[in-house]
Structure 1
Amino acid sequence: MTSYLPSLLGGALIGLSSMMLLILNGRIAGISGIVGGLLQGNNRWTNAAFVVGLLLGPVRYFLTFHHWPTATITASLPLVMIAGFLVGFGSRMGSGCTSGHGIMGLARLSPRSIVAVVTFLLSGALAVALLHGAVL
């Protein structure tokens, strides 16, 4: 059970912060929209506080669990940069990212978000199947 505790706490904090942003500010907690708004100069203080909170997450993790969260990236830096560009492009084209659609949209039973999340999941499963030679 203790191995799931960090994920459980992280998920609870994401849900709580998303709920607070919606209730207190009437805004959806979608990362691509918040970062895009920050770059465009919209709601600077709120957007900046949200992004700073995201960046301080690993520091909070370290203070709580006394070690840094582990992440292993095996792809090359150019591939990671291309993937990041495509994710950003896709999230703007799809009017939101996985956090906006998956966390806030599903909670609000948004039909557009339901379609988006199903598309995300099927695309991810297909990519894994194709890259790892799995049989569908």
Structure 2
Amino acid sequence: METAFTPFQSLAGGALIGVASVLLMGLMGRIMGATGVLAGLLMPANLADWSWRAAVVAGMVSGPIAVMLVTGEFPQVQVPVSSTMLVIGGLIVGVGVTFGAGCTSGHGVCGMARLSPRSIAATLTFMLATGVTVYVLRHVMGG
């Protein structure tokens, strides 16, 4: 399995996520954790709460369209697993997000920026689990 690292696109994407997080916190006092935003969109407290969450999700979903307008083609996404594995992975992530009280974007971007001890611990756990998973998949299982 080959990993294609794209440093400039990654830097640009990270900068956009950072700016969006700062703007959401500065303008609305909200933390931009993707699962929290989505959960509040599906079960909003009120219309104003639903509106900003819908705008954030629309911005996330419209990213490939923006790439297409700039480059003339949609970004290519290769998913090296079956749809079944995607569903299983999504369920596992959902359980982890529930027990971890947030996702990587909430803890890793926003929580770390606020120096939250819980977010620092969560992000270290995410990174350790990711490293172990990649090692097992590539070197133990031979993927």
**Shorter-chain TM-score above 0.5:** yes
Query: Does the alignment pair 1:129 with 2:120?
Result: no
Deviates more, 1:14-23 or 1:4-13: 4-13
AA at the equivalent of 2:61: L
Gaps of 5+ in 1: none
Counterpart in 2 of 1:49?
A: 55
CA distance, structure 2, for counterparts of residue 8 and residue 87 of structure 1: 25
Runs of 4+ in structure 1 over 4 Å off: none
RMSD of aligned Cα (Å): 1.3
* Identical positions, percent: 42
Residues 69-125 of structure 1 deviation map (CA, whole Å, 9 limit, x = unaligned): 122111110110010111122112111100000100111111101100100010011
* Structure 2 residues without counterparts, runs of 5 or longer: 1-5
SS in 2 for 1:132: helix
Tell me the amino acid that sits aligned with residue 39 of structure 1. Answer: L
Contact 1:32 1:92 in 2 (8 A): no
Residue number in structure 2 paired with 1:71: 77
Residue 129 of structure 1 and its aligned partner are, at CA, apart by 1.3
SS at match of 1:133: helix
* TM-score under structure 1 length normalisation: 0.91
Alignment TM-score, normalising by the size of structure 2: 0.87
How many angstroms does 1:68 deviate by?
A: 1.6
Shift in Å at residue 130 of structure 1? 1.4
Task: Pick from 33, 36, 42 the counterpart of residue 39 of structure 1.
Answer: 42
Specify the code of the residue in structure 1 equivalent to 2:56.
F
Return the letter of the residue paired with 2:36.
Answer: G
Tell me what 1:4 maps to: 7
How many residues are aligned here? 132
